[in-house]
């Protein structure tokens, strides 16, 4: 019996630790040959010396289990290094079939305190990093499709966050980048569908060095698998990378601890029509002020409600 990803090749960025590592291992378990990318900086804020260690260790782990893997230690936020990453997959495995974008950093600060550098660095790694690899992978699939005279196989799985859905007061850069990733994903899904390529995004909830503050107070269970373990997220990535997910395109998923939710596109909550050619201030004051008066003052999504968790 063949494995669902047998004969396919994948790139996973940020795969030296946490979610990316779990995803790379899962794709390999399902039969894919994997390029394990990680810049290897020890700080979750992108600080420290780059190291080949994390990527090399995960690639070695895949090979030790009987899979095929090679490491890439470049910075995906660098346009040319992202090109080299995609080219490495093509050189090593003959083609690229699957791209999983996961690399990211955090530089948290309230919007009134955030520096230009803190904003730019997070947008660069998350949003530009996703674009860079997507650009070169998309060009590869488009060229293959033209040569084949029809659709080819391609899968993109991008990593967003519920921070963009519900807000995250101390992460304006991160929330903006993650919202941008969803926009990039839906645009890419429309642009590449005719070539046989799908693009989807996930909002994972997982306990990693990136989320240690978010889940402070949510203790790991003494027995059994942690519901916030990255291993809960990886199977969805494996599924979205597979032929079985051919009809899932331009979708957003929330995933954690044995739960997958498909997020609907935004819906109109209320609609008001002017009684004239156009609204006046007074008319808007009358209809909108009344509308918001019916809702709790300062209504927001509490983090615990969004995460569906209760503190222990």
**Cβ-based neighbours of 73, under 8 Å, separated by 6 or more:** 37, 38, 39, 40, 50, 51, 52, 55, 56
**For residue 239, which of 24, 27, 88 has the smallest C-alpha distance?**
27
Whether 174 is catalytic is: yes
Contact criterion met (CB below 8 Å) for 185 and 127 = no
Cα dihedral: 290, 293, 294, 296 (round 10): 160
Whether 161 is catalytic is: yes
Contact criterion met (CB below 8 Å) for 77 and 53 = no
Q: One of 121, 128, 178, 239 is an active-site residue; which one?
A: 178
- Running DSSP on this structure, what letter comes out for residue 203? E
Q: Is 179 exposed, middle or buried (0-12, 13-18, 19+ CB in 10 A)?
A: middle
Q: One of 153, 174, 195, 239 is an active-site residue; which one?
A: 174
The catalytic residue positions are 161, 174, 178
């Amino acid at each position: 019996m063949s494995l669902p990803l047998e004969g396919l090749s994948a790139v996973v960025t940020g795969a030296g630790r946490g979610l990316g590592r779990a995803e790379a291992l899962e794709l390999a378990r399902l039969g894919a040959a994997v390029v394990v990318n990680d810049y290897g900086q020890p700080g979750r804020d992108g600080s420290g010396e780059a190291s080949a260690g994390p990527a090399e260790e995960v690639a070695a782990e895949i090979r030790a289990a009987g899979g095929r893997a090679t490491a890439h230690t470049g910075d995906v936020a660098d346009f040319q290094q992202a090109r080299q990453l995609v080219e490495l997959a093509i050189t090593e495995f003959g083609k690229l079939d699957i791209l999983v974008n996961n690399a990211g950093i955090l530089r948290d600060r309230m919007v009134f305190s955030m520096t230009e550098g803190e904003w730019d660095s997070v947008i660069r790694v998350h949003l530009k990093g996703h674009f860079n690899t997507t650009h070169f992978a998309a060009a590869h699939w488009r060229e293959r499709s033209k040569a084949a005279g029809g659709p080819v196989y391609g899968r993109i799985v991008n990593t967003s966050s519920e921070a963009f859905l519900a807000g995250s007061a101390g992460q304006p850069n991160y929330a903006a980048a993650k919202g941008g990733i969803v926009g990039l994903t839906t645009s890419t899904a429309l642009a590449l569908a005719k070539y046989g390529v799908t693009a989807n995004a996930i909002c994972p909830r997982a306990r990693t060095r990136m989320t240690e503050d978010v889940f402070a107070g949510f203790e790991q269970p003494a027995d059994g698998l942690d519901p916030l373990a990255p291993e809960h997220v990886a199977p969805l990535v494996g599924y979205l990378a597979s032929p079985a997910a051919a009809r899932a395109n331009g979708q957003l998923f929330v995933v954690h601890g044995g739960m997958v939710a498909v997020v609907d596109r935004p819906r109109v909550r209320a609609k008001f029509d002017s009684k004239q050619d156009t609204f006046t201030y007074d008319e808007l004051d009358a209809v909108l002020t009344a509308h918001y008066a019916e809702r709790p003052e300062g209504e927001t999504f509490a983090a615990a409600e969004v995460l569906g968790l209760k503190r222990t």
